[in-house]
Amino acid sequence: MLVSPETGDDAGVFALPGNDHLALVQTVDFFTPIVDDPFDWGRIAAANAFSDVYAMGGRPVTALNLVAWPVEQLPLEMLARVLEGGAAIAAEAGVTILGGHSIHDPEPKYGMAVTGFVDPARMVRNSTMRAADLLYLTKPLGLGIIATAVKAGRATPLQLRAAVGTMSALNADASEAMLEAGATACTDVTGFGLMGHLHIALRAAGLSAVLDASAVPFLEGAADLARAGMVPSGTRSNLEFVTPSTDWGQLGEIEQLLLADAQTSGGLLIAIPPGEARLLEEGLERRGLLVANVGRVVDGGTGRIMVAGMVAG
């Protein structure tokens, strides 16, 4: 076992006997609906499940569908659309769906168990950040807030489209860019939010970080929705989790919640030496991805985050 649950990494990695250049990457993820459209839900769930493999520098190759469905309350035709959405993203990623498992459940759930491959020599972990590394984020935040606003009927169609487009976008290109540039470490930004996943990675590395709040990108309207109370319970839990190890600087509660927002299928948080940062920026730009240098890793403390600046907007 090359990567265990010990460091809270994105996926487990197991060395294949007799092959020094290939290891298995395994992960699983599923959740309840976060959008009304079943096809979009399937797409988002698949992209989210594959993301853990991309964060390790790996390539997802096979998947198993995981389904919980209230067959007496929701039509099977709707489930078919969920599975079609998952299959569409799997096809885009070059992943073969081998089958899966379903159960009866009063609350619908969907996701995937995913297997991928990685070269152990090129594997990227969350626990290997080094002092002076620069931190880059490849998708904007605000997904949890907008998803909550959608459920409350407060999000605009434009905000919904932007959120769905962000969540259903694969992190494959971002993973390629970080491997080309020689990233030191990486984690994808999902349920624990930017602050939570950064804290977990820093704690595993025995380091701290300075986060530039003004450089963190957000989806349009996320700040206004947060001020209107559209904050999911997971985001509030994230804030409670990270606050003991965070110096929030000048930020008020709303700005803190924005930075701690729980994401679904968020971007990669990449740590890279300063000398390779330009190579990473060029790789992300060439692939049409977000380039956001949001902070740097520093010595001192274990898992602490010092927030500088103010949240834009």
For residues 6 and 57, what is the distance between their CA atoms, to the nearest angstrom?
19
The string of pLDDT tens digits covering residues 171-182 is: 999 999 999 999
In percent, the amount of the chain with pLDDT more than 70 equals 100
pLDDT band at 312; cut points 50, 70, 90: confident
Residue 259 has pLDDT above 80, yes or no: yes
Q: 3-class DSSP state for residue 135?
A: strand
pLDDT band at 7; cut points 50, 70, 90: confident
Domain boundaries, the chain: 5-122, 134-308
pLDDT band at 18; cut points 50, 70, 90: confident
In percent, the amount of the chain with pLDDT more than 90 equals 96
Number of alpha carbons in the 13 Å side-chain half-sphere of residue 262: 17
**pLDDT at residue 175 in the model:** 98
Nearby residues of 165 by Cβ (< 8 Å), 6 or more positions away: none
Residue 216 has pLDDT above 80, yes or no: yes
Mean pLDDT of 9-14: 92
Mean pLDDT of 283-302: 96
pLDDT band at 235; cut points 50, 70, 90: very high
Residue 301 has pLDDT above 90, yes or no: no
β 305-308/208-212 pair status: parallel
The fold of 5-122 is: 60s Ribosomal Protein L30; Chain: A; (3.30.1330)
For residues 249 and 103, what is the distance between their CA atoms, to the nearest angstrom?
48
**pLDDT at residue 150 in the model:** 93
Check: CB of residue 79 under 8 Å from CB of residue 34: no
Q: What is the CATH number of domain 134-308?
A: 3.90.650.10
The token pair that represents 74 in the structure block: 């929701």
Q: Which residue stretches of 35-111 are H helix?
A: 38-55, 76-93
Check: CB of residue 52 under 8 Å from CB of residue 197: no
The string of pLDDT tens digits covering residues 68-126 is: 999 999 999 999 999 999 999 999 999 999 999 999 999 999 999 999 999 999 999 99
Dihedral (Cα; 258, 261, 263, 269), 10-degree rounding: 70
**pLDDT at residue 180 in the model:** 98
